[in-house]
């Protein structure tokens, strides 16, 4: 049973110290009491820009169909989010052009002071998540109902850092702050990041069983950045409860997952090892006995991004980790060492079908640490289990952490300020809240 959102404030007590400093509701609209959206406005911007995520069946607030001829050009300067969009409105397909602004709530137009701003005088379209009061002169396009009808869609599949943004030049807003105060602020931001993740899981558990929610998150994590979407789709196509009902061993679960993934080889390659040939025959034998309904739902190879993936990280290998996790889902929350410790199986002795190797883990420690921090800790909080934020495992630095530290503290800063795993999470949170959204000036008022 998921907990109330207020309970999460207790699990992450310092998150409020970071969140309450924000002057604009736009950064954290999820805090609004009448409707919860624990993602950012930028998620909607990225969704609009990408036809792979943008719903095909859009409608205006009046119910008229909308076809996107051109979404507009992403605007990184002051003014609307997209410039010179072209939409076809209504059954008669009236072609209307103009700029387009995106908000989570319709009243964001007034809250952000767009009315009367000359930069917005050519705005014709208002894309919002929640339905609400329309702004005179704007064609409003709400997304909530349309996205709810798309079973494969998830905001968690959107990598907001993969879309256009510019790094603001400034005077390093946190340069002169006491080092201990810097760390305290970063860790408070880190708690907010984990609280938001727990909030998203809490929302998901309002319509799904906790174990299914965890199953979907684990598979998405195994997909890494490039294949989160197809892994998450697999978890929805083959829910955890059904997978466990159809399989009695990890190898059988693997056969189901590999078959449904569309990556099951149809022919044996003479170059494969003898062990691989024997193993794939056993996979075929089990998969081909399954109901036609399962076979009809298989993904295609076009659903996967396989270019440049190292054999050790290939989905056919990661799916074995998923199969083993399926027998341990909730147990992983209490025994996270199981994330890297696997019983003997085909894929911990093979890097590819034709390349054997010494026994090796299917999931490395760095990926396991990311799963613990980004999934298991928020899930424990969302289900009322105790958490210890002081024992978060370290994650390696990345481009976002380095860029944010540089932007906040100058090139000559000391990395001791963000040695803790929680402080590193905080840098990622600040990147998305302030750096990528050009709100650095607001940070000066927080400390």
For 135-158, what is each residue's pLDDT tens digit? 999 999 999 999 988 877 889 889
| Residues above pLDDT 90, as percent of the chain | 74
| Residues above pLDDT 70, as percent of the chain | 95
Does 345 fall in a domain? Answer: yes
Q: How many domains does the chain have?
A: 2
Q: What is the pLDDT of residue 56?
A: 87
Q: What is the mean pLDDT of residues 390-409?
A: 90
Q: What is the pLDDT of residue 335?
A: 87
| Whether residue 211 sits in one domain with residue 71 | no
Q: What is the pLDDT of residue 97?
A: 98
Instruction: Please tell me the least confidently modeled range out of 216-225, 227-236, 375-384, 432-441.
Output: 432-441
User: What distance in Å separates the CA atoms of residue 319 and residue 313, rounded to the nearest whole number?
Assistant: 10
Does 44 fall in a domain? Answer: no
Q: What is the mean pLDDT of residues 176-203?
A: 93
| DSSP H or E stretch at residue 89 | strand 82-89
For β-strands 82-89 and 73-74, DSSP reports them as antiparallel
Q: Which of 352, 382, 412 is the last residue of a domain?
A: 382
| Whether residue 222 sits in one domain with residue 298 | yes
How far from each other are the two terminal CA atoms of the chain, in whole angstroms? 37
Instruction: Give me 122's structure tokens.
Output: 């050519």
Does 230 fall in a domain? Answer: yes
Does 401 fall in a domain? Answer: no
Chain CA centroid to CA 74, Å: 21
pLDDT in tens, 39-85: 999 999 999 999 989 998 999 999 999 999 999 999 999 999 999 99
| Whether residue 112 sits in one domain with residue 257 | no
Q: What is the pLDDT of residue 441?
A: 82
Q: What is the pLDDT of residue 3?
A: 55
Q: What is the pLDDT of residue 5?
A: 58
| Whether residue 304 sits in one domain with residue 213 | yes
| Whether residue 222 sits in one domain with residue 80 | no
Domain, as residue range, for 288: 206-382
Q: What is the pLDDT of residue 72?
A: 97
Does 238 fall in a domain? Answer: yes
Does 128 fall in a domain? Answer: yes
| Whether residue 230 sits in one domain with residue 119 | no
| Whether residue 254 sits in one domain with residue 139 | no
More confident residue, 5 or 65: 65
User: What distance in Å separates the CA atoms of residue 97 and residue 229, rounded to the nearest whole number?
Assistant: 32
Q: Crossing angle for the helix pair 228-237 and 210-222, nearest 10 degrees?
A: 150
Q: What is the pLDDT of residue 25?
A: 40
Q: Which of 325, 353, 382 is the last residue of a domain?
A: 382
Does 441 fall in a domain? Answer: no
In the three-class reduction of DSSP (H, G, I as helix; E, B as strand; rest coil), residue 139 is classed as strand
Q: What is the pLDDT of residue 95?
A: 97
Residue 29 has pLDDT above 50, yes or no: no
| Whether residue 319 sits in one domain with residue 245 | yes
Q: What is the pTM of this model?
A: 0.88
| Whether residue 350 sits in one domain with residue 228 | yes
Residue 32 has pLDDT above 70, yes or no: no
Q: What is the pLDDT of residue 297?
A: 92
Q: What is the pLDDT of residue 31?
A: 38
Burial class (CB in 10 A: 0-12, 13-18, 19+), 419: exposed
Q: What angle do CA 110, 135, 94 make, to 5 degrees?
A: 140
pLDDT band at 428 (very low <50, low <70, confident <90, very high): very high
Alpha carbon of 278 to those of 274, 310, 342, 419, 430: distances in Å? Answer: 6, 24, 21, 48, 51
pLDDT in tens, 280-336: 999 999 999 999 999 999 999 899 999 989 998 999 999 999 999 999 999 999 888
pLDDT band at 34 (very low <50, low <70, confident <90, very high): very low
Q: What is the mean pLDDT of residues 335-346?
A: 90
Q: What angle do CA 194, 396, 370 make, to 5 degrees?
A: 40
pLDDT band at 376 (very low <50, low <70, confident <90, very high): very high
């Amino acid at each position: 049973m998921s907990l109330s959102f207020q309970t999460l404030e207790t699990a992450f007590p310092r998150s409020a110290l970071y969140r309450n400093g924000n002057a604009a509701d736009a950064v954290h609209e999820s805090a609004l009491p009448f409707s919860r959206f624990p993602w950012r406005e930028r998620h909607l911007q990225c969704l609009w820009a990408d036809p792979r995520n943008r719903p095909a069946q859009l409608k205006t607030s009046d119910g008229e169909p909308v076809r996107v001829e051109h979404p507009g050009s992403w605007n990184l300067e002051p003014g609307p989010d997209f410039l010179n969009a072209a939409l076809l409105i209504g059954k008669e397909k009236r072609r209307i052009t103009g700029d387009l602004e995106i908000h989570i709530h319709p009243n964001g137009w007034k809250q952000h002071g767009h009315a009367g701003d000359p930069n917005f005088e050519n705005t014709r379209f208002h894309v919002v998540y929640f339905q609400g009061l329309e702004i005179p002169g704007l064609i409003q396009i709400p997304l909530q109902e349309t996205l709810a009808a798309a079973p494969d869609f998830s905001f968690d599949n959107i990598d907001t850092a993969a879309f256009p943004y510019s790094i603001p030049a400034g005077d390093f807003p946190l340069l002169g702050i006491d080092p201990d105060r810097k760390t305290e602020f970063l860790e408070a931001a880190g708690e907010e990041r984990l609280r938001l993740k727990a909030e998203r899981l809490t929302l998901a558990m309002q319509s799904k069983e906790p174990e299914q929610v965890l199953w979907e998150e684990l598979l998405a994590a195994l997909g890494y950045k490039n294949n989160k979407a197809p892994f998450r789709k697999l978890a929805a196509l083959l829910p955890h409860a059904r997978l466990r009902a159809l399989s009695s061993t990890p190898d059988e679960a693997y056969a189901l997952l590999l078959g449904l993934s569309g990556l099951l080889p149809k022919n044996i390659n003479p170059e494969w090892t003898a062990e691989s040939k024997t193993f794939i025959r056993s996979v075929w034998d089990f998969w081909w006995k399954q109901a036609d309904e399962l076979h009809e739902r298989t993904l295609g190879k076009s659903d996967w991004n396989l270019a440049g993936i190292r054999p050790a990280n290939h989905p056919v290998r990661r799916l074995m980790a998923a199969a083993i996790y399926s027998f341990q889902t909730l147990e992983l929350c209490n025994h996270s060492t199981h994330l890297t410790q696997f019983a003997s199986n085909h894929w911990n002795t093979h890097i590819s079908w034709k390349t054997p190797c010494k026994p090796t883990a299917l999931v490395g420690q760095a990926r396991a640490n990311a799963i613990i921090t980004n999934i298991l800790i928020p899930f424990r909080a969302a289900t009322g289990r105790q958490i210890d934020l002081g024992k978060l495992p370290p994650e390696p630095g990345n481009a976002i952490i380095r860029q944010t530290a540089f932007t906040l503290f100058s090139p000559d800063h000391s990395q001791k300020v963000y040695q803790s795993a929680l402080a590193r999470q905080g840098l990622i949170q600040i990147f998305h809240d302030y750096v990528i959204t050009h709100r650095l000036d607001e940070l000066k008022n927080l400390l």
